[in-house]
Structure 1
Amino acid sequence: MAFIAITRMLSPLKDYAQKFEAVMTLDDELNPEVVEILDPLVGEFLRTSAVSEQLLQGLTTLADKLHRIADLATGTGTPPANLPPTAQRLASWLVSRPMPNAQAALQSRLVAEINAGQSLTGGPPAGELKAVLKLRKRLTVNGQLLGGSVAEAAFDRRCSRLLNPESIDKIIGPTSTIAQELEAVLPLLDEPIGERSREFIVRMVDQMVQACQSPQRLVGENTPPPQRLKMLARFHKRIRKAELIGAIKTRILRTVETFHADTLKTTDPLGRIEQQGGGNTEKALALIDLCRSGMLIPGEYLDKTRKAAESRLKSPDFMPAYLAAAQDPSQRAERIQALKTMLIEAGLGGG
């Protein structure tokens, strides 16, 4: 009966706009039978620009429009405000009722817009890339990208248009050292940028590191040794975690390790601590600080420093001297807890 009534209501109407207005006058309290009948009609309405654009009023960038379409296509979020009454009612339907045909129409619009190649933001490359990755994340539901392989290929093309020799400097922004450039670009390897863009980033990182002939060239001529060690150690850690081809990763790590070792030879922070004045407890704490400073990379020097710290920690005079300033049991407990935290940060266990 409902199907016949709706058909009779719509039959005299000539275009989708009129039919859409008529359907949207139906009672909000639609029973499942009526929703099932209306779903294909709403799907047809949404494939016309006259109807779909009503849902996007007030939005200027394609990125904002596609995020709204995604919300409606997945039935998530809340209906957008400040829409025309009929569009407002349709948005409420889409986020509150299962309407597979309508949602399929919106998903089709999403894929078509992503595939078309129009800028999401109309702005500079860095903002555009951020918008591309944000939209892709929004369209990934339960590990699956809406639009499947077609949408994936479209996103990959968008990334490759942004991540290339002509535009990469605009993505990275101003930097003063090669290390800063690398720190800006390496996080991109954690993003779904596509194989072509990934290969470009990997080659770029490899070439930049291999072109450096000294640690100063990598981290900056005027960078003081402690900061130089920290930058090299941070870069080494980032490379270890990066998804790089085995041979390339090994080559980059060896170069960074060589630069780090060269800097240690000229500065030797462990030797300086051992040679400086002060008692056992003072030196033990200095060694702990060195281990947790972020200046050392995994390897022989860090192991040697930890052993030196452990040796001084085991000395009978360490704990009495460390707790000497504590005036009461609560202060002693605080000092002991602080020491445990420092030991964990230094890779020396919880003590």
Structure 2
Amino acid sequence: MDDEPRSDVDAAKAAVCEAVSDFYTPAGRQAVGRAAGGFLYPQYLTPLEVLHSVDRQRQLANAGTNAMQAVQKAASWQVRGTSVPVSERIRRLWELTDAIQSGTAARLEAEPPQPVTLATLPDTLARRAGEADADRRFRIIAALTHTLADRQGWAAKFATLAELGSGLAGLEAFNVFDSMIAEILRPAAGLEAVLGRMDTIGEDVLRLLDLSDGTAKPESAPASPPTARALFDLLAVAAMPETRAVLSEHAILLARSNEKFTRKPLSEEITFIVDLRKRMTRDGTLRGGADTLEALSRRLARALSDQTIDMIMVGANSVGERVLRAVQLHGTVFGEEALRYLETYATELMGQPKLETVIVAEGDSLRHRVKLLGKLHLAIAKSEFPAKTKERLATQVERLQSDLMDRTRLLEKLESGTGSTSDRLMKVIDLCREGAFVDGPNADRARKAARDLMKRNDFLESYLAGADQKGERANRLKDLQKLLAEARIV
């Protein structure tokens, strides 16, 4: 599926037509749409309709300078970067378009197209003896083009095609309907007329991706416009490669736009961008390639700045919580600028004077403060910060936790405090199991305190208090053994 959005020049260069038949290919038709779109789309016309109708060709030719401008545009785009004179390419395109007009007139004069109805559809689609595939395709599209001649607007044209083609899904003849529907959906106005718009750009992107991938459920189609359900139904049962490619192209273009994806808080917008990159990746390749990655990275760079960081840090009441959130974001976002900003932000926070007084909120419980530092150390150690930065910050956090433990005499109070020995031991065990202490000297101190408590004469009695049955006492000891192993105390 070729869903890579192309510039006007790239679209024209992908279809340097040298034969009449080249104009009828998907690439050729896209080039026609780019060059003549200024005339076609306001008239609700598609390249296929122009290529299969004498009336439409005359309409284009007689519309002032539109035909001349279209040829000149296509020629200039196609020779750009080459040594071919634009005048030579213009001459060749005029030769080919003249041949198209004369050929179309001869074909349709020999067999004038008739309107297609559900009753006449089988005869229109029937393969004739000795008829080449290209001739049959031309005849069917010419008949459908004639049928659409009096339909006003994109939605009306699509509705007619959807009604006629709904029973053909899976048949080779449906390829014609796929081509014509794809061209109706290619202009943004055509897509909106048929499918409508969601409340946000992000929802539009996700819906287009679902439709192009074949994962959209017909029952999820909106009630308005009614054509949306018809499109959902067709895509649920038919291959429609051209239509899916167009829908995917629209999704990529919207993903590269500048409007916010959501109307949610900035932190959720960032999460959406990160998740969208994953959603748009197929077999390890991001749809739209480097251009899409650059656009998404640019969004993240805008979202992560001195002007926005306070919105992202709402609820982070201490420097430690802010640094932790920055490190966690660093592990999910992408783009050099966004990553560098978070690295700078974290290092500047950790470099402020009297850090020990603000690294954790003094109003929080001691247990929370110790755990926050342990969690922050682990996040830094696992981060993709530059190696020297990571080592420096991790060492800093370890020292801050050690100082906090010394200043508050956390372990000493647990060893000599009130309450039973077993209760105090369980508090230490729980902290160790939760990874509250930084691995190394801090964790070793905590585990030693736990072992010292276990050596107390009254420990076993207090731990087994209330367990009168032999089996109950054995089970309680097994549970303790498991907890001690999880806390790496024994």
TM-score normalised by L of structure 2: 0.63
Distance 1:271 1:85 in 2: 72
Query: Counterpart of 2:180?
Result: 41
**Unaligned 5+ residue runs, structure 1?**
none
Q: Which residue of 2 aligns with 1:20?
A: 158
Q: Does residue 295 of structure 2 align to residue 154 of structure 1?
A: yes
Structure 2 partner of 1:306 = 447
1:210 matched to 2:348? The reply is no
Flag the structure with larger Rg. 2
Structure 1 residue 334: Cα displacement: 4.7
Farther off after superposition, 27-36 or 333-342: 333-342
Paired residue secondary structure (2:164): coil
Identify which range, 39-48 or 28-37, moves more after superposition. 28-37
In structure 2, C-alpha distance between the alignment counterparts of 1:118 and 1:199, rounded to whole Å: 24
The residue identity in structure 2 corresponding to 1:243 is E
SS at match of 1:25: helix
Query: Does the C-alpha gap of structure 1 residues 217 and 102 become closer, same or farther in structure 2, counting only changes over 3 Å?
Result: same
Structure 1: distance between partners of 2:290 and 2:386: 25
Are 2:206 and 1:67 equivalent residues in the alignment? Answer: yes
Q: Secondary structure at the match of 2:296?
A: helix
Other-structure match for 1:172: 313
The worse-fitting range, judged by mean Cα deviation, of 196-205 and 129-138 is 129-138
Contact 1:212 1:218 in 2 (8 A): no
SS at match of 2:466: coil
The answer on 1:297 being equivalent to 2:297 is no
Which segment drifts farther, 17-26 or 205-214? 17-26
Q: 1:183, CA displacement in angstroms?
A: 2.9
Is the CA contact (8 Å cut-off) linking 1:145 and 1:151 kept in structure 2? yes
Q: Secondary structure at the match of 1:327?
A: coil
- What residue in structure 1 maps to residue 15 of structure 2? none
Shift of residue 116 of structure 1? 2.5
Per-residue CA deviations over 1:299-350 (Å, capped at 9, x if unaligned) read 123224324534665789865663342233663465245324422441236x
How far does residue 229 in structure 1 lie from its aligned partner after superposition?
1.9
**CA drift at 1:112:** 1.6
**Quick one: distance in 2 between partners of 1:296 and 1:128?**
33
Q: Deviations over 1:84-131 (max 9, x none)?
A: 443322222223332221111112111222222122235653443333
> Would you say the 8 A contact 1:210–1:252 is kept in 2?
no
Name 1:10's counterpart in structure 2: 144
Classify 1:11/1:270 alpha carbon distance in 2 versus 1 (closer, same or farther; 3 Å): closer
Could you say what secondary structure the match of 2:298 adopts? helix
Counterpart-to-counterpart distance in 1, 2:412 and 2:162 = 80
Pick one of 382, 394, 397 that aligns with 1:253: 394
Q: Please provide the CA RMSD for this pair.
A: 3.0
SS of residue in 2 equivalent to 1:196: helix
SS of alignment partner, residue 223 of structure 2: coil
Answer whether contact 1:281 1:318 (CA < 8 A) is retained.
yes
Question: Would the aligned equivalents of 1:111 and 1:150 in 2 still touch at CA under 8 Å?
Answer: no
Q: Give me the whole-angstrom Cα distance separating, in 2, the residues matched to 1:257 and 1:197.
A: 27
Q: Check the 8 A contact 1:129/1:159 in 2, yes or no.
A: yes
Pairing 1:240-279 to 2, within 5 Å after superposition = 240-276=381-417
> What residue is the counterpart of 1:51 in the other structure?
190
Contact 2:141 2:176 in 1 (8 A): no
State percent identity of aligned pairs.
28
Cα 1:54–1:337 change in 2 (3 A) is: farther
Gaps of 5+ in 2: 1-126, 128-135
Paired with 2:430 and 2:315, the residues of 1 have a C-alpha distance of 33
- Aligned partner of 1:77 in structure 2 is 216
Q: 1:122 to 1:85 in 2, by over 3 A?
A: closer
CA positional deviation for 1:137: 3.2
Asked whether the equivalents of residues 20 and 45 of structure 1 are also in contact (C-alpha less than 8 Å), the reply is yes
Structure 1 CA distance, aligned partners of 2:467 and 2:324? 43
| 2:331–2:383 Cα contact (<8 Å) kept | yes
Distance in 2 (alpha carbons) for counterparts of 1:144 and 1:231: 37
Q: 1:167 to 1:274 in 2, by over 3 A?
A: closer
- Give deviations 1:265-291, integer Å, cap 9, x for gaps: 223333334445788756654543453
Partner of 2:103: none
Cα 1:214/1:167, change in 2 over 3 Å: closer
Alignment of 1:49-128 (within 5 A): 49-57=188-196, 59-79=198-218, 80-121=221-262, 125-128=266-269
C-alpha distance in 2, partners of 1:114/1:61? Answer: 12
C-alpha distance 290-59 of structure 1, shift in aligned 2 (>3 A): closer
TM-score, length of structure 1 as denominator length: 0.85
1: CA distance, partners of 2:332 / 2:195: 29
Give the equivalent residue in structure 2 for 1:29.
Answer: 167
SS of equivalent to 1:32:
coil
Relative distance call for 1:48 and 1:181 in structure 2 (3 A) is same
Aligned residues: 349
TM-aligned CA distance change 1:311 to 1:78, over 3 Å: same
- Give the letter aligned to residue 6 of structure 1: I
Q: Give the Å deviation of 1:212.
A: 4.2
Cα-to-partner distance string for 1:187-228 (whole Å, 9 max, x where unaligned): 211223312101100111011111142322211344454433
The range that moved more, 145-154 or 268-277, is 268-277
Q: Deviations over 1:44-100 (max 9, x none)?
A: 121023431145436221111111111111111312141444332222222333222
Read off the aligned partner of 1:53 and give its amino acid letter. E
In the alignment, the residues of structure 2 paired with residue 3 and residue 22 of structure 1 have an alpha-carbon distance, to the nearest angstrom, of 18
SS at match of 2:163: coil
